[in-house]
Amino acid sequence: MDNNKVPDKSETNSSQQSQNPALSALVSLSSQKISTGILLPPDPNTFRPLVLPQVVLTDNNESSSDQLHNSESNAAKSATIIDFSLTNANPILPVISNPEPLSSSTTTLEQNGQFLTDFSFNVNTTIVNEPKSNSTENHEYTTIQPYWFYSKIIQDRLFWFPFSLIDSQRLEQAHLNKIEVISTNGNRYDVNLTLRKRIPVYWTGTSNDVRRSLWFYKSEYDIRFMPFDEETNDLLENVYKKTCTEKIWHTKHEINGETLVFHSPSLMAIHRLEGELTEYTSFSTGIPRTRILKRGLPDELTEDIEEGEKEGVQHLCFVVHGIGEGCDARFRPLVDCVDDFRFVSQTIAHNHFKPYLDEGQIDRVEFLPVYWHGDLHLEATGVDGRLTPITLPSVPKMRNFTNGTLLDILFYTSPVYCQKIISRVISEMNRLYDIFLQRNPSFKGQVSVIGHSLGSVILYDVLVNQVSNQDDPQLEPTIAHGSPIAMFLTVRGINSLAQDYELPTCKGLFNIFHPYDPVAYRIEPLIDPSWTCSPVLMEHHKGRKRMHLGQKVDFIYLEIQIVQNVALEILYRMVYKRL
């Protein structure tokens, strides 16, 4: 016999099977298709995926357990294991305790006193060389930094938002030092660490729940990870620490009626089993059965975290809203719209003035909302109680919208309600300014007022009747957005303003409008009737074209393309006709 001859693969497999009875039985089983079995309901207490033991082939009489404990020798050798791969979709094979007698069409295997019910699929045997990995078992427990979140209800749904990086660090430091109240979000909110509530400072509103979390979950119905409550955080952290310390991975833990399993530091889940699992159990009932766990801040939440606002304020702006309670196309409240002002201001500062921010040469701009609509429409003292009896019951949504929004214009033209609205705006701005100075005692910056729609008319009427006082701060130019000031002046019989006209306590006025805004009007013709210049186009802070201008260019380009295509088609027809 030639000593250099390579043994045939079938001879090698036969030799291995004769030396190891377990391998021989498993290979024999894989050569046949298992018949269809009856899906029996498993015992929920013992339900777990089938884990097949590794079969190690050796050339000596050394026991497998001794080899597994001798990690250094096993690392040098390549252990041959049996790998089961299913040709069909991989079902989870339930372990059944004390099974009922099975019919002749069901194939069963017995392993460690447990019977495994198999279903109709092909079992293939693949022999691979794979070294044993102990990365999970050797994982050591380490502490991580928790992060702080606050809740917000949007369209009747609860969302959790991360605090800025600066605020979260300050909250954590206050928590460790047992400080009860700390300011966040640029001093606009106070967080009560005892009550775990975030409370607005400048305006009246509902408080938000606050959580300190380092454990997060996401079910199949969630689009992002959500933080656990702090009690569950402590419970999960204790179980995780025990798992890492005692190396008890893949162990089930019962928590609040659910099953917790730590497969590895990166694969953790909570399973919920509603009732008994049978072949009729539906997995699309809308109730999440499995929630993926994550220890530490998930990457998708990290992208939403802002650096935070600095303490210094260089410019203060009061924002007065227009008609109605909703302040934009999505009918969001004034507070949310003012948050957009603040966010855009911070974005512009970081994109265009970052060196000055880093060197401390400039500080941030603060925006505070001035709300007057609520006083006008209070049921006790407002106009809603008087409007309800005279309102027709037909088309209720349209009539409620008219009463709560469009009629604000008529109320402002009434001498009684006009004075009530103006008094409310003045008292609210004074109140906000006093609170701001208390929380920012070193403020020496400028103050501006911004009015949108009817709010700009209210500010104009307030400023035009002001008396200049050296003790009061001089206002920077007033900003009017989508303003009907010129229309109101025309209705009041004012046909023109003097060319040297100015507001007593304000340095000027900017009239900013969109060309398609139906309630915006120009003021220049009232000052100079011969004024014919076009409005100055404001560049977008991102450098792109405004939406209406971009669409206009696109339409012109499309029109040119259509004309060219039609001309070419006519030309081709003329040429082909001559041919």
Give all domains of the chain, ordered by start, each with its CATH number. Answer: 147-276+286-303 (no CATH), 313-529+541-577 (3.40.50)
Q: Supply the pLDDT for residue 66.
A: 45
What is the share, in percent, of the chain residues with pLDDT greater than 90? 30
Instruction: Give the pTM.
Output: 0.67
Give the pLDDT band (50/70/90) at residue 114: very low
Which of the pair, 551 or 180, is modelled with greater confidence?
A: 180
Mean of the pLDDT values across residues 77-81? 34
Instruction: Count other Cβ atoms within 10 Å, centred on residue 200.
Output: 15
What confidence tens digit (pLDDT) does each residue in 339-385 have? 988 988 888 888 888 898 888 888 999 999 999 988 887 755 567 77
Torsion of the alpha carbons at 228, 232, 237 and 238, rounded to the nearest 10: 180
Element spanning 509, H or E: strand 509-512
Residue 146 pLDDT > 80, yes or no?
yes
What confidence tens digit (pLDDT) does each residue in 267-295 have? 888 887 654 433 333 344 445 578 889 99
Contact 437, 443 (CB under 8 A): yes
Mean of the pLDDT values across residues 5-19? 47
Q: Supply the pLDDT for residue 137.
A: 61
Nearest to 134 by CA among 81, 77, 76, 69: 69
Mean of the pLDDT values across residues 407-426? 90
Q: Supply the pLDDT for residue 277.
A: 38
Q: Supply the pLDDT for residue 111.
A: 39
* Encoded tokens for 384: 């809603």
End-to-end CA distance of the chain: 86
Q: Supply the pLDDT for residue 285.
A: 46
Nearest to 403 by CA among 385, 380, 423, 421: 385
* Encoded tokens for 86: 């299913």
Instruction: Count other Cβ atoms within 10 Å, centred on residue 90.
Output: 11
Residue 99 pLDDT > 60, yes or no?
no
Q: Show Cβ contacts of residue 494 under 8 Å, excluding neighbours closer than 6 positions.
A: 526
Quote the mean pLDDT of the chain.
74
Q: Supply the pLDDT for residue 212.
A: 96
Please identify every residue annotated as catalytic: 453
What confidence tens digit (pLDDT) does each residue in 436-482 have? 999 999 998 999 999 999 999 999 999 998 887 777 777 888 999 99
What confidence tens digit (pLDDT) does each residue in 46-64 have? 444 444 444 343 344 444 3
Give the pLDDT band (50/70/90) at residue 552: low
Nearest to 536 by CA among 517, 518, 512: 512
SS3 385: helix
Distance between CA atoms of 473 and 445, rounded to whole angstroms? 10
Distance between CA atoms of 468 and 479, rounded to whole angstroms? 19
Instruction: Identify which of 145-149, 477-481, 509-513 has the greatest average pLDDT.
Output: 145-149
Which of the pair, 193 or 548, is modelled with greater confidence?
A: 193
Nearest to 429 by CA among 382, 481, 472: 472
Mean of the pLDDT values across residues 538-557? 62
Which of the pair, 294 or 546, is modelled with greater confidence?
A: 294
Strand partners, 444: none
Give the pLDDT band (50/70/90) at residue 75: very low
Instruction: Identify which of 194-198, 513-517, 529-533 has the greatest average pLDDT.
Output: 194-198
Distance between CA atoms of 12 and 25, rounded to whole angstroms? 16
Q: Supply the pLDDT for residue 183.
A: 95
Residue 531 pLDDT > 90, yes or no?
no
Nearest to 377 by CA among 369, 387, 363, 367: 387
What confidence tens digit (pLDDT) does each residue in 212-257 have? 999 999 887 778 899 999 999 999 999 999 999 988 888 888 877 7
Contact 198, 206 (CB under 8 A): no
Q: Supply the pLDDT for residue 273.
A: 60
Mean of the pLDDT values across residues 108-127? 32
Which of the pair, 389 or 136, is modelled with greater confidence?
A: 389
Nearest to 497 by CA among 529, 454, 536, 458: 529
Distance between CA atoms of 185 and 200, rounded to whole angstroms? 10
Distance between CA atoms of 423 and 440, rounded to whole angstroms? 26
Give the pLDDT band (50/70/90) at residue 110: very low
Q: Which amino acid is at 136?
A: T
What confidence tens digit (pLDDT) does each residue in 297-321 have? 998 888 889 888 888 899 999 999 9
DSSP per position, 186-222: TTTEEEETTTTEEEESSS----EEEEEESEEEEETT-
Instruction: Count other Cβ atoms within 10 Å, centred on residue 37.
Output: 17
